[in-house]
Amino acid sequence: MATRYDLIVFDCDGTVMDSTAVIAGSIQAACRDLGLPVPSDEAANHVIGMGLAGALRHAVPDAPEEMVEPLVERYRHHFLARDNAIPLFAGAREAIADLHYAGRQLAVATGKSRNGLNRALQATGMRPYFQATRTADETFSKPHPAMLLEIMDELGVVPERALMVGDTTHDLQMARNAGVDAVGMTHGAHPKDQLRALEPLALLDDFAGLREWFRLT
């Protein structure tokens, strides 16, 4: 399977970085700060992967429009307090390095902001592995296909030779919208049954499973 794809695109939060609990907790804490209804864990997890303002609108649908910007600011306050301590998932560095040294082009398509992704890549030392990146403040948010379409155009790869790896239905739907194959990671934000409904090529529990799927071990 590794030779079938020239380009592998990874989501960041919940796929490469074990950040689901921090993001959901920051959404909930921001709501408490402002006296807004606090979304359940399920509701807060569901919006992970979307652009921040849109994610908060979905997570707290009853929030008045004038509260969205303060909600964004309070979310950032809580998230940035824990940002540097968010780890990679076990095996992520090794699997991505294997793909890189096997000659695959690698990219990131994320709901993070550009500043947020740059911080994450710098803190983890993962920046050298990725040839292209797109963030939600640079183009359309998931599940719109723009991130994948722009990455493929930049790197000169056709959809049939690209693969999306993500942990949310937003990732898998983006891939479907772009005509790209996808693999779902079940260690992140969305339940396995929701991922399965979008018919990814595989559902994998961890990066050991991903490496085995690519037959790099």
CATH of the domain at 179: 3.40.50.1000
Amino acid at 150: E
Choose the final residue of a domain: 28, 51, 84. Answer: 84
User: Residue 51: its pLDDT value, please?
Assistant: 87
The one-character DSSP state at 14 is T
Closest listed residue to residue 110, CA positions, set 19, 31, 32, 34: 19
Does the structure show a pLDDT above 70 at 2? no
A 10 A CB-CB count for 213 gives 17
Could you tell me if 27 and 59 lie in one domain?
yes
What total of structural domains would you count in the chain?
A: 2
* CA–CA distance, 182 with 176 (Å, rounded to integer): 8
| Structure confidence at residue 216 as a pLDDT band (50, 70, 90) | low
Choose the final residue of a domain: 84, 107, 135. Answer: 84
* CA–CA distance, 66 with 63 (Å, rounded to integer): 8
Choose the final residue of a domain: 84, 112, 134. Answer: 84
Against a cut of 0.85, is the pTM above it? Answer: yes
Could you tell me if 114 and 147 lie in one domain?
yes
Burial 56-82 (b: 16+ CB within 10 A, else e): bbebbeebeeebbeebeebbbebbeee
pLDDT of 121-153, one tens digit each?
A: 999 999 999 999 999 999 999 999 999 999 999
Could you tell me if 103 and 140 lie in one domain?
yes
Could you tell me if 188 and 208 lie in one domain?
yes
| Structure confidence at residue 85 as a pLDDT band (50, 70, 90) | confident
The one-character DSSP state at 1 is -
Residue 8 has φ and ψ, to the nearest 5°, of -120, 125
171 is catalytic: no
- Active-site residue, selected from the candidate residues 6, 13, 193, 205: 13
Does the structure show a pLDDT above 50 at 160? yes
Question: Where in the sequence is the domain holding 42, given as residue range(s)?
Answer: 20-84
Could you tell me if 69 and 140 lie in one domain?
no
Closest listed residue to residue 141, CA positions, set 166, 182, 112: 112
Tokens of 164: 């999306």
Angle between helices 92-101 and 207-214 (to 10 degrees): 20
Could you tell me if 111 and 80 lie in one domain?
no
206 is catalytic: no
- Active-site residue, selected from the candidate residues 6, 11, 41, 83: 11
